[in-house]
Structure 1
């Protein structure tokens, strides 16, 4: 049996994987080492309307900085298997929280959409962001008093939806996205985020 050596996407240590005929059927081969994976803290969310995969901690802070602010788009693959397992059987329509077009041009990729793409999860672009303001630069009180961030783009059916975003802090972004869909005719809207802040 052959051994294939890659480096962990996070710490760059060699990551050895056994190569066999089964490898060709493996949808998401390991791309980070067990040490790095063990540093991410799973979330204990029990709310049926909102689910987060991980808690925000120092390793997650470092991941977000590299992924979103240093534009390391390949890091979208770090959580591909976990996100795929969480969402692959989702019956509700998945809606990714969008970036404002100007911010998208500046960053060159949508962190939220890239997470879903890496996990091979289909989503429907039903929202448009109406402001270039970023929530991360606001105080908690400013976030809670933010005017509506989104408008709908396209037909919102009388169906059940789940909004996906990268991080949940005060919940303002998620609540605005939910409200926009509900006001446009959605039957129900739940939410999923990669991280709970």
Structure 2
């Protein structure tokens, strides 16, 4: 019998008729655990980003999830939100671009969490950005964030302006990381850049 990826309690293995018809995906998380996440479907925009869509609020359950996923390296947790991410990112007109980790950070953590989320959801993506610093923007003061000149470089010039480029990150806090990434893509030739994040820290711009 399968168990919930979050609480490890057994899941009901009896398939529903929706699953037989391919309408509903097999769940990996129990309803009790999922109910602790606060769905917000927040949409905003900035001067560099044409749209920022965040699925869930960064509440206590989200904090515990990211700690276990990223820092305790429980990569199986990438499947918890696979269906949610698939529903908002599957679009042939969109080129999905994960926010990258610095190579040194990736080596320490052993995997890139955003790549893992996209792979679990079966979403193709392109690694068009390279991170230039190991700094975490959420841990810096506003003046420190403003002092940073360049967080990313583009791996290549962007040829197709007809596509929508969608940045994907696990959490939206200050917005600095996404702003820098969008600026880099636009400098490389992208006309429209959007973003999707799994969580958003409410009360922050």
Is the pair's TM-score, using the shorter chain for normalization, greater than 0.5? yes
- Alignment of 1:42 with 2:39, yes or no, is yes
Q: How far 1:23 moved relative to its partner?
A: 5.0
Q: Structure 2 CA distance, aligned partners of 1:72 and 1:141?
A: 34
Aligned length: 193
Q: Structure 2 CA distance, aligned partners of 1:36 and 1:140?
A: 35
The question of whether the paired residues in 1 share the 8 Å contact of 2:157 and 2:189 is answered with: no
- Give unmatched runs, 5+ long, in structure 2: 46-50
- Give unmatched runs, 5+ long, in structure 1: none
Q: How far 1:156 moved relative to its partner?
A: 1.4
- Alignment of 1:52 with 2:54, yes or no, is yes
Q: Find the counterpart in structure 1 of residue 191 from structure 2.
A: 187
Q: How far 1:140 moved relative to its partner?
A: 4.4
Q: Name the CA shift for 1:20/1:51 in 2 (closer, same or farther; >3 Å).
A: closer
Q: Structure 2 CA distance, aligned partners of 1:147 and 1:71?
A: 31
| 100, 110, 113: which one aligns with 1:111 | 113
Map Cα deviations across residues 61-85 of structure 1 (whole Å, 9 max, x no partner): 0000000111111100010011111
Q: Find the counterpart in structure 2 of residue 122 from structure 1.
A: 124
Taking only aligned residues, the RMSD between alpha carbons, in angstroms, comes to: 2.0
| 8, 25, 28: which one aligns with 1:31 | 28
| 4, 8, 11: which one aligns with 2:4 | 8
Q: Find the counterpart in structure 1 of residue 135 from structure 2.
A: 133
Q: Structure 2 CA distance, aligned partners of 1:142 and 1:35?
A: 40
Q: Structure 2 CA distance, aligned partners of 1:195 and 1:75?
A: 15
- Taking structure 2 as the reference length, the TM-score comes to 0.87
- Alignment of 1:97 with 2:99, yes or no, is yes
Q: Structure 2 CA distance, aligned partners of 1:34 and 1:140?
A: 39
Q: Which range moved further: 109-118 or 84-93?
A: 84-93
Q: Structure 2 CA distance, aligned partners of 1:28 and 1:76?
A: 15
